[in-house]
């Protein structure tokens, strides 16, 4: 089966997406890592969300090295705009986090989903 590739480069304003890993045959990709222009991708399904500007600015040009303070900042600020879904930074995968590609855990209707990614428009 050929997989479909969808590029998510053109998010506008504060719009972003959660990618939930699933075997769907659809691979979502985005340019990530700030000026490093990495091409990150994951197979799954997406959920549109709002990524506050404060989070986008905090993680500009991040290539790992995410601190406890960064994770706390993320957890405090992401929930303000997305009250229908619980989103938390995945501290066990913090070394995988780069600009516009952060590892998260989500909870929807009391069901937890791990190994998800939050992505948005890269600053480059």
- Greater confidence (109 vs 20) lies with 20
pLDDT at 83 over 80: no
Q: What is the pTM of this model?
A: 0.90
84 pLDDT tier (thresholds 50, 70, 90) = confident
Tell me the DSSP string of 59-124: TTT-BS---HHHHHHHHHHHGGG-TTSEEEE-GGGGGG-BTTEEEEEEEETTEEEEEEEEEE----
Report pLDDT digits (tens) over 3-43.
888 888 777 667 899 999 999 999 999 888 777 778 889 99
């Amino acid at each position: 089966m050929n997989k479909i590739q969808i590029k998510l480069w053109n998010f506008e304003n504060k719009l972003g997406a959660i990618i939930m890993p699933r075997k769907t045959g659809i691979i979502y990709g985005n340019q990530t890592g700030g000026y490093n222009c990495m091409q990150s991708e994951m197979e799954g399904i997406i959920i549109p969300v709002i990524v506050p500007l404060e989070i986008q600015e905090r993680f500009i040009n991040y290539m790992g090295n995410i601190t406890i303070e960064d994770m706390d900042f993320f957890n405090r600020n992401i929930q303000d705009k997305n009250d229908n879904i619980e989103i938390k930074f995945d501290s066990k995968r913090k070394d995988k986090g780069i600009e516009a590609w952060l590892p998260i855990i989500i909870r929807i209707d009391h069901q937890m989903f791990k190994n998800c990614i939050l992505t948005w428009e890269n600053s480059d």
